[in-house]
Structure 1
Amino acid sequence: MILSTFLSAIADILHMVIQIYVWIIIISAIISWVRPDPYNPVVQLLYRLTEPIYAWIRKFVPTVFGGIDLAPIFVLLALQFFDRFFISLILQYAHSI
């Protein structure tokens, strides 16, 4: 019972973290369309939160097509897969205990 509740809580927290990061990626992508001030603290924070994962994706997959960087879409797809598959597995295991 305790392990089941613990695993459910972990799965819920991971789901929330993924959803927050999804929104960070979306906001960062929208802000990048308007050429924001690079010295703005919010822009710098968004850059620091998103650019490391984009750089990691770019090492393996070419993400720029026609001048448009598709790295945010690849990250969003990976996050959704992780959320739908692994979080669901954790929750199913927690409910089966």
Structure 2
Amino acid sequence: MTSILQILLLILDVVQWVILAHIIMSWLINFQVLNLRQPLVGQIWDALNRLLEPIYSRVRSVLPNLGGIDLAPLVVLLAVYALRIVLVNNAAAFM
């Protein structure tokens, strides 16, 4: 059962890094450090959006409209951290 816990924690780690990469890449695109017309940048951006948009859209439907501020990545990242804390604190149940 310990291996199931480790696999779940690994999945949460991967999700965390993908969300952080998406956040950083969105900042770099908005500050025009990265250009979406470059093929590699465009492909990575499209892949990240396809991965995360189903999750973000569900969170955005619950959050109030704040104009140009998108808090969905922050809420999802906090949910990943909270889920990780719950799993680690209840690790005894997996053993």
TM-score (norm 1): 0.78
* Long gaps (5+) in structure 1: 1-6
Q: Tell me the residue number matched to 2:62.
A: 60
Q: Which has the higher contact order (CA 8 A, sep 6+)?
A: 1
Cα distance in 2 for partners of 1:24, 1:75 equals 11
Cα distance in 1 for partners of 2:20, 2:59 equals 17
- Structure 1 residue runs of 4+, over 6 Å off? none
Q: Tell me the residue number matched to 1:94.
A: 94
1:87 is displaced (CA, Å) by 4.6
Contact 2:5–2:94 (8 Å) recurs in 1: no
Size of the aligned set, in residue pairs, is 87
Contact 2:19–2:73 (8 Å) recurs in 1: yes
| Structure ranking higher in strand proportion | 1
Q: How does 1:11-90 map to 2 (within 5 A)?
A: 11-35=5-29, 36-37=35-36, 40-62=42-64, 65=66, 67-89=68-90
Cα distance in 1 for partners of 2:48, 2:89 equals 28
Deviation readout 1:37-96 (Å, 9 max, x if unpaired): 17621111111111110000011112x53522111110011111111113532x21133x
Which amino acid in 1 is paired with 2:36?
A: D
Cα distance in 1 for partners of 2:19, 2:94 equals 30
State percent identity of aligned pairs: 32
Cα distance in 1 for partners of 2:49, 2:89 equals 30
Cα distance in 2 for partners of 1:49, 1:88 equals 28
Contact 1:8–1:94 (8 Å) recurs in 2: yes
Contact 2:60–2:72 (8 Å) recurs in 1: yes
